[in-house]
A = this chain, B = another copy of it.
């Protein structure tokens, strides 16, 4: 039996992926750009053995049936690569035990599938010794589109590509996580009970019905990708932040132009957007950028020096019964810096509402997937989950 354990991080797009040109191969209609996060990751152990009776899978402590078409698709790609590589036929016949968990709540709508599929692919590649030999991002992509961006740390571009077979639809690293170490992220997890459209269903409906999505993909995104790549290279936060906010807004505009519309932002999301614009205006420069995926949670990109003050801003605008509980601020510890009375007045800072946020996560730009030591395995020597 062979056991390998790896981790792969969450990524948060600043130029959004929305719309597929091929639903089977998960090929997008436009490039996207993301930051890879530290602190938030999936961890996966895979055991392969000729003695296992069959394939089994445990996700976040629950055994799942081994029949997800996307997972089978990923495994099929590996089998093909193994054959091409001339590996012994023996390992191809070995059954797998896959055990995976996220170190953050999956229900919070925080792009858990991207980290999960990136981790599955990275761990399989390590298990099979294929890491350096194949394009991991292309295989992660067939699991979950944006998973391809979690194959690298730092800032990552997913090139849409042109080929029908998708071979050129891969992720490339724009800059490693060491390039702009001051870049940090606050995630505001918003309370929300609405039934939401899945992102797969939503983007499919957008491609079919939005009158604006093509124009966005062809005429807006290319320049934004070029400009934000340059801003990342030059560590130009103002430009980075403005493009990030505009692209988040345009992505949600496309969702609203869909029929029936897909609505992911709620009143709290919009109150956060408004608060950030008021803060930036009062501060006299763009200090914080918001971006929202297919859900109401806000991801704020900002520089380390501004985190203490912005944390105070958020806590004052969104008072919460749990505000002093250690569970309320997760991730990297940070000491708040009170906003001056003068600035608070300029912002017109008032409590927006009570208990509107569930909690806050503080993180930063981080490295890509890692091979973890045996001591961190989720599977025991029999290939079964250690904790169930």
Give me the interface of A with B, judged by CB distance under 8 Å: 211-212, 215-216, 219-220, 242, 245-246, 249-250, 252-254, 256-261, 263, 266-267, 270, 273-274, 277
A273:B260 contact, CB within 8 angstroms: yes
Q: How far, in angstroms, from A193 to B258 measured CA to CA in the complex?
A: 28
Report the Cα distance A80→B28, complex, angstroms. 59
From B263, B273, B277, contact of A270 by CB (8 A): B263
Contact in complex: B252, A256 (CB < 8 Å): yes
Q: Is the CB of B245 within 8 A of A249?
A: no
Contacts of A219 in B (CB 8 A): 211, 215
Given the complex, which residues of B lie within 8 Å of A249, measured CB to CB?
A: 256-259, 261
Contacts A212-B216, A267-B266, A267-B267 given; does A256 touch B253 at CB 8 Å: yes
Query: Could you name 16 residue pairs across A and B whose Cβ atoms are closer than 8 Å?
Result: A211-B219, A211-B246, A212-B216, A212-B220, A215-B215, A249-B257, A249-B259, A249-B261, A253-B254, A253-B257, A260-B273, A261-B273, A263-B273, A263-B274, A266-B270, A267-B267
Which chain B residues border A245 with CB–CB below 8 Å?
259
Residues of B with C-beta under 8 A to A216: 211-212
Residue picked from A212, A246, A254, most chain B C-beta under 10 Å: A212
Residues of B within 8 A of A254 (CB): 253
B residues near A250, Cβ cutoff 8 Å: 211-212, 256-257
Q: How far is the CA of A270 from the CA of B296 in the complex (A)?
A: 14
Q: How far is the CA of A257 from the CA of B273 in the complex (A)?
A: 13
Residues of B within 8 A of A211 (CB): 216, 219-220, 246, 250
Cβ–Cβ < 8 Å partners of A266 in chain B: 267, 270
Nearest neighbor of A348 in chain B, beta-carbon distance: B195
- Residues of B with C-beta under 8 A to A259: 242, 245-246, 249
Which residues of chain B are near A253, meaning CB under 8 Å?
212, 253-254, 256-257
Known contacts A253-B254, A263-B274; 5 further A-B pairs (Cβ under 8 A): A211-B216, A211-B246, A249-B256, A249-B261, A263-B270
Identify which of A219, A245, A260, A273 gathers the most chain B CB atoms within 10 Å of its CB. A260
A180 to B267, CA, bound (A): 38
Nearest CB of chain B from residue A216's CB, rounded to whole Å: 7
Q: Which of B256, B260, B267 contacts A256 (CB 8 A)?
A: B256
* Nearest B residue (CB) for A250: B257
- Residues of chain B with a CB closer than 8 A to A220's CB: 211-212
A274 to B219, CA, bound (A): 31
**Nearest 4 pairs of A and B residues by beta carbon:** A253-B257, A253-B253, A253-B256, A260-B277
Residues on B with beta carbons closer than 8 Å to the beta carbon of A215: 212, 215, 219
